[in-house]
Amino acid sequence: MNFNTLLGKTKNLKALFLTVLIVGFTLSSCNNKSNKKDDDNSDNFDRAAMLTDVADLLIIPNFETLQTEVNDLKTAIETFNTTSNEANLIATREAWVDAAMAHQHCSAFGFGPGKLLLGPYASVLGVFPVNESAVEANIVDDSFDLPNSFSKDIRGFYAIEYLIYREGLSDADIVSSFDADRKAYLLLIVNELKSTFDNIVAEWNGSYRADFIASTGTSAGSSLSLYYNDFVKDYENLKNFKLELPAGLTAGFETPDPTLVEAYYSGISRDLIVEHFKSCTNIWSGTSKDGTNIQGFEEYLAVLVGGPELATQTNTTITQIEDLINALPAGKLSDNIADPAIETLRDKLQDNTANFKSSLSSILGISITYSSGDGD
Amino acid sequence: MKTIGEYIQSVFNKMEQSTSIAPLVVFRIAFGLLMLFSSSRYLYMGWLENQLTDPILHFSYYGFDWIKPISETGMYMIFIIMMIASIFISLGFVYRISTIVFFLCFTYIELIDITYYLNHYYFVSLVALMLIFVPANKHFSLDVKLGLTQSIDKIPSWCIGVFKWQIAIVYIYAGLAKMNYAWLIEALPLRIWLPAQSELPIIGFMFEYDIIPYLFSWAGMLFDTFIIFGLMYKKTRLISYLCVVFFHSITGILFQIGVFPIVMMFGVLIFFSDEFHQKIIVGLRKLIGFGMLSSKNTDLYSYKTPKFFKTAVFLFFVFQILFPWRFMLYSGNLFWTEQGYRFGWRVMLMEKAGTATFFVKDGENGREGSVINHQFLNMHQEKQMAMQPDLILQFAHYLEEHFKEKGMKDPKVRVEAWVTLNGKPAQLLIDPSVDLTEKKDTWRSKDWILPFKASNAKI
């Protein structure tokens, strides 16, 4: 039988084959989002397991801690508003510090429930510097409507900080500055924090958790892509806005500006930087806040082309960064804003940016945008 | 032995041989519909805003920095005009004007921002350009129906040949580009890309096996290089077409490449026989109950193609064949420097990513500060810019202008660009000590690109 007749005889077979193929691929492309049982039958990395760990042992507990701290802060503020004295002011400040520290461990999770109408929650409620004059104007403006305001520098953690620390005033003066309007504004802001984090926790504990874990792909919009992108943005925010900008190391800025640091009024900027970087390394290495080892990017890299090399290199840089953070001058960052240790730390954080930002996504095969033609 | 002149003359004679118009008609109809679909999809995805009107700056094609987007309303107008032109092309209505309008609109949009460069956009532009010059409306068209042109059955073979030759160049060059060490011996970048797709239903499980990236790499190379030869002969055509459908379905599912798998699946139909296309036309006539009256297709195509025109077509393809090889005039690793990379049908060939930090120094007081890229660029632009030397240079020049406008007298711009290629540890792409404001983008080799150190490869 020659080739020609063979072809002729198999013509129908081929048509059938074609149909099967087309139907198969149409089906499989439609089913992209469907839930599929995770197969853990090979050495391939189990992304569903990683997402489960990340949701259950990192994101949800961290948000729950933040929720608790914010609720405590609200209670403290209510107590202070009822009984305005220095002791209650100090109690409020202590509650605020706890909340601000807990916020560092959540600021990277600005997707899904963490994304508010105005953007990722940290870009709405974690904004500094505070617009002092706008806050003062809002306090005396009876028609001010927080839910319908688009301003970000008059709300959130650092607006509360401004109100309860006030630069240049004694504690007694601050207590007496709290008239009814000021108390009302303070309560308004903490209520927004409370409802926001109550809601985020409720959504994570509700249906979002299952959606998050079920989306095991790597394309744009997948859970891994959202989690990864926000992690990198959060890391860059630490470098850009908590160090570089106040230290005057951004192009076009002539001199350092200490008022641009995070937590300028309380002076805990340095502690917050320590916490923030700890949160970054937790996400990178897969470590819960209490130190439990979970599945993270580091584990994922272990099974990928070029992954172990990148993990080693990143861990080396991270250790160096931790040393440099420890070497930051003690005391308020704003008092030491021109200290060369800040620039050294910034440079090292910059060195590590490529590890997190481009090398990691490249090796993991994560798509960072929806635009077609990646890699073409 | 033939002289070159005689050889060209014999090519010209072959170009003049008459052939059925049917494949060209089907090609015209499919092209118009696909472009309509692709433009609608572009608008639906919100890319007009994201890619064209929202960005603060655009990266331009060499020599085309005068191409700028207009207002959002204006861009929508251009899209609507382009979509109407697509419909008209399909219908064969005021065909010459429609093809010119489509070509201009499409190419204009394509030229706005090079970070969105795709080989396939370039392919569409070339096809649109060629459609202007062929009489694809002279059969089964509104132009015929309305008496704007005469219906014909036969056309000179070059009218179909140009599309076949162009498609052949796309595939064969894509295949040749895959003949490199990384692709064939290391199975890179597929060894990186495929495991990331292991969650796909039905086929996903495969990507957990180490052999699969090698199979796909070799199959992809063989497919691209030889598929055209399979499509050329009747005996192997159907099985080759099955391979086309299979291959483009797989790549379409695996990678973000939009509508182009479908474009190619329809495009290669032009290799099918005249009878095949006549059947499609008869089917379409029945389907829409149109054109049965006008089918007095007795006119032979008496038009003789002018010699200068045949020369132009010939030179066009000489250019198409030679231009992708210009990379050989540059030293260094092509994938690393990307000098002569574009317009060469190098499709999905490497996994490359970078982080570029720009430092702007005030030439007067020596203060240096770094740049927050995303204050100027969207994520896609930043990603594409960070690994392509000519785009890094464009952004450096933009920053120079930006800081001059802000009052800095003599800004100097340098960059630390850490780039990873195919999963290998990141290296510096650009000499970080070079002031990029002093450098110009030219055809010459860029001496400020650092060489790729292969010894760093530890895979």
Q: Dump strand ranges (E) for chain A.
A: 115-116, 119-120
Distance in Å from the first CA to the final CA of chain A: 44
Residue A239's nearest CA partner among A100, A126, A347 is A347
CB B44, CB B36: distance < 8 Å: no
Q: Which long-range contacts (CB under 8 A, 24 or more apart) does B425-429 make?
A: B425/A306, B425/A309, B425/A310, B425/A313, B425/A359, B425/B456, B425/B458, B426/A354, B426/A355, B426/A358, B426/A359, B426/B354, B426/B355, B427/B452, B427/B453, B427/B456, B429/B336, B429/B354, B429/B356, B429/B387, B429/B389, B429/B392
Interface of B with A in 252-271 (CB under 8 A): 252-253, 255-258
Phi, psi angle pair for B282, to nearest 5°: -60, -45
- Chain A CB within 8 Å of residue B426 CB: yes
Grouping H, G, I as helix, E, B as strand and the rest as coil, residue B412 is strand
* DSSP-derived secondary structure letter, B299: B
Per-state percent for chain B, helix, strand, coil, to nearest 5: 60, 10, 35
pLDDT value, residue B303: 63
Kindly state whether B350 is in contact with chain A, defined as any CB-CB distance less than 8 angstroms: yes
The answer to whether the CB atoms of B239 and A7 lie below 8 A apart is yes
Q: Is A7 exposed, middle or buried (0-12, 13-18, 19+ CB in 10 A)?
A: middle
Q: In this structure, what DSSP letter does residue A109 have? A: -
CA distance B340 to chain A (A): 14
Test A220 with B200 for CB contact under 8 angstroms: no
Asked, as a colleague might, if the bond just before A129 is cis with ω within 30 of 0, I would say: yes
Q: Could you read off the pLDDT of B109-138 as tens digits, one per residue?
A: 999 999 999 999 999 999 999 999 999 999
Dmax of chain A from CA atoms? Answer: 104
The strand pair at B427-428 and B18-20 is best described as unpaired
In the block, which residue shows the tokens 């994560």? A366
Closest residue in B to A48 (Cα–Cα): B199
Residues, chain B, total? Answer: 459
Q: Which residues of B touch A7 (CB under 8 A)?
A: 235, 238-239
What are the Cα distances from residue B165, in Å, to B25, B161, B268? Answer: 17, 6, 11
> In this complex, do B424 and A306 lie within 8 Å of one another by their Cβ atoms?
yes
Give the neighbor-by-neighbor strand order of the sheet with B368-370.
B368-370, B352-362, B411-421, B427-428
Best of A13, A233, A305, A367 to mutate (most B CBs within 10 Å, chain B): A305
pLDDT band at B214; cut points 50, 70, 90: very high
Cα B150–B154–B160 angle (5° rounding)? Answer: 110
B359 vs B286, which has greater pLDDT? Answer: B359
Report the chain A residue with the minimal C-alpha distance to residue B203. Answer: A28
Sequence-separated (6 or more) residues with CB below 8 Å from residue B170: B119, B123, B345
pLDDT value of residue B299 = 54
- Asked if B226 has any chain A CB less than 8 Å from its own CB, the reply is no
Distance CA B278, CA B297 (A): 12
**What is the C-alpha separation between B79 and B35, in angstroms, rounded?**
11
pLDDT of residue A23: 44
Centre a 10 Å sphere on the Cβ of residue A154 and count the other Cβ atoms it contains.
24
The string of pLDDT tens digits covering residues A36-54 is 333 333 346 889 999 999 9
SS3 B19: strand
Does B420 contact A306 at a Cβ distance shorter than 8 Å? yes
Report the Cα–Cα distance between both ends of chain B, in Å, rounded.
Answer: 52
B454 at interface of A, judged by CB pairs closer than 8 A: no
Chain-chain contact of B458 with A309 (C-beta, under 8 angstroms) = yes
Dump pLDDT digits (tens) for B381-415: 999 999 999 999 999 999 999 999 999 999 999 99
> Residues B246-267: what's their mean pLDDT?
89
Report yes or no: B371 at the A interface, CB cutoff 8 Å: yes
Q: Do A354 and B426 touch (CB under 8 A)?
A: yes
Instruction: Name the residue of chain B whose CA is nearest to A308's CA.
Output: B459
The token duo for A278 is 């700890």
pLDDT greater than 90 at residue B301: no
User: Are β-strands B154-156 and B352-362 bridged in parallel, bridged antiparallel, or unpaired?
Assistant: unpaired
Contacts of residue A125, defined as CB under 8 A and 6 or more positions apart, other chains included, come to: A116, A155, A156, A157, A192, A193, A196
pLDDT band at B298 (very low <50, low <70, confident <90, very high): low
Query: Which pTM value belongs to this model?
Result: 0.90
Residue-level pLDDT at A32: 37
Distance from CA of B66 to the nearest CA of A (A): 24
Nearest to B422 by CA among B350, B355, B341: B350
Three-class DSSP category at B360 = strand
Instruction: Nearest by CB to B380, from A369, A375, A376: name it.
Output: A369
Rounded average pLDDT over B215-228: 97
To the nearest whole angstrom, how far is the Cα of B319 from the nearest Cα of chain A? 22
pLDDT of B14: 87
Q: What is the mean pLDDT of each run of 10 residues along chain A (376 residues)?
A: 42 48 44 35 73 97 98 98 97 98 98 96 97 97 94 97 95 96 97 98 97 91 94 97 96 92 97 98 95 93 93 97 96 95 96 95 84 46
Beta bridge partners of B362: B411
Q: How many other CB atoms are found less than 10 A from the CB of residue B82?
A: 21
Beta-carbon count within 10 A of B162 CB: 22
Chain A contact for B234 (CB, 8 A cutoff): no
Contacts of B408 in chain A (CB under 8 A): 252
Model confidence over B420-453: pLDDT tens digits? 999 999 999 999 999 999 999 999 999 999 999 9
Tokens of B49: 């805003």
The closest CB to that of A371, out of B352, B371, B380, belongs to: B380
Q: Rounded distance, CA B382 to CA B387, Å? A: 9
Interface predicted TM-score (ipTM) of this complex, two decimals? 0.89
B215/chain A closest Cα distance in angstroms: 17
Find out whether B164 and B270 touch, Cβ atoms under 8 Å. Answer: yes
DSSP A8-30: HHTHHHHHHHHHHHHHHHHHHHH
B62 vs A302: CA distance, rounded Å: 41
Residue B100 to residue B81: CA distance in whole angstroms: 12
DSSP output for B234-269 = HHHHHHHHHHHHHHHHHHHHHS--TTHHHHHHHHGG
Q: Under an 8 A CB cutoff, do B419 and A11 touch?
A: no
**Chain B residue numbers touching A225 (CB-CB < 8 A):** none
| DSSP letters spanning B204-237 | GGGGGSTHHHHHHHHHHHHHHHHHHHHHHSHHHH
Residue with tokens 């609608």: B40
**Kind and range of the H or E run holding B73:** helix B72-91
Whether residue B288 has pLDDT greater than 50: yes
Burial A140-153 (b: 16+ CB within 10 A, else e): eeeebeeeeeeebb
Question: Alpha-carbon distance B195 to B189, whole Å?
Answer: 11
Q: Is the pLDDT of residue B258 over 90?
A: no
Contacts of B377 in chain A (CB under 8 A): none
CA-to-CA distance for B374 and B195, rounded, in angstroms?
30
Cβ contacts below 8 Å, chain A against chain B, sum to: 193
Best residue in A35, A44, A234, A362 for a mutation probing chain B (most B CBs within 10 Å):
A362
